[in-house]
Amino acid sequence: MNIRKAVIEDAYSIAAVQVNSWRTTYRGIVSDAYLSNMSIESREQVWRGAISPEANTDLRFIYVAEDDGGEVVGFAMGGPNRSKEFEYEGELYAIYLLEHVQGQGIGANLVNQIVHDFIEHGIHSMLVWVLRGNKALGFYERMGGQMIGSKTISIGEEEHEELALGWKELRNN
């Protein structure tokens, strides 16, 4: 397994991981109609924008995890906290893995890379938002995240609860 900074050429692979991961992770949580209408091509454009040098700052980090064959099987993105209701410096914006590689330590390695970069840039606390019902909640708790709050969001035509987990003091692992 190889973890490296994402480059613009990874946009399609990141989009594919995101769409496929949503379809397996959120099945039974988010409507089937919403999941089936997700498009790798539209997500690719979003990721091209996120990875582009113009959009990327010193405080926004995007990493991919490649398997031994060089296929992108997961990614993570973090940056400054976007929510005003919790006073944490950093936020893990996204972390997704293909279903067949979950539970192998790849997610922890991706999170640890984001944490390492946060600490190097003076960011010493972090939060993540997790959709209620997502089995990954236990992963974040095992990584040291503590429940700090929740909010209601809309996905498609449905309302869902998102849970905030926070790390008050980040440490390199």
- 138 found inside a domain: no
Residue 73 is assigned to a structural domain of this protein: yes
Is residue 154 domain-resident?
Answer: no
Measured CA distances, 13 to 10, 23, 42, 90, 124 (Å): 5, 15, 12, 25, 30
Segment 105-130, tens digit of pLDDT? 999 999 999 999 999 999 999 999 99
Per the domain annotation, does 156 fall within a domain? no
pLDDT tens for 44-67 read: 999 999 998 776 666 789 999 999
Specify if 152 maps to a domain: no
List Cβ neighbours of 4 (8 Å cut-off, separation of 6 or more): 63, 64, 66
Q: Say how many domains are in the chain.
A: 1
Domain interval for residue 47? 2-124
- Is 63 within the bounds of a domain? yes
What CATH number does residue 10 fall under? 3.40.630.30
Beta bridge partners of 131: 162
pLDDT one-digit tens code per residue, 142-154: 999 999 999 999 9
